[in-house]
Amino acid sequence: MSTETDSVKVEEKLYYNRYVVDAGRPHVKVRPHEVPSQALLALTKICPAGCYALNDKGQVEVTPDGCMECGTCRIVCADTHDIEWNYPRGGFGVLFKFG
């Protein structure tokens, strides 16, 4: 049996979240690199908020606006230390609509 809730896409639910940007103080940073590691490349595909992307030089960049603080990138790069990850300061970051 299908309900109306079953047909709501994840993207539609994420739309209701809000994000307070801490301008000039990103809570996630990518370590400078020439060629991205496999772990960094993976982030461009697995971050649920799409925060990671390749620039025109083939390097991975992060724009943490919209980060849901799921910690996936932190775990993937735990051994490689390709990123620096901290929680946003109080009052900044994601505001979840559905908890």
Judged by the rule CB under 6 A, the positions of this chain that interact with ligand SF4 are 28, 47-49, 51, 64, 67-73
Structure tokens at 51: 């925060």
Single-letter amino acid code for the residue at 26: P
**Closer CB to ligand SF4, 48 or 58, in the complex:** 48
Instruction: Say if CB 75 and CB 81 are below 8 A apart.
Output: no
In the complex, least distance from residue 35 CB atom to ligand SF4, rounded to whole angstroms: 21
In the complex, least distance from residue 43 CB atom to ligand SF4, rounded to whole angstroms: 7
Q: How far apart are CA 28 and CA 26, in angstroms?
A: 5
**Closer CB to ligand SF4, 3 or 55, in the complex:** 55
Q: Closest by alpha carbon to 64, among 12, 24, 16?
A: 24
In the complex, least distance from residue 69 CB atom to ligand SF4, rounded to whole angstroms: 5
Q: Which helix (H) or strand (E) holds 44?
A: helix 38-46
**Closer CB to ligand SF4, 28 or 40, in the complex:** 28
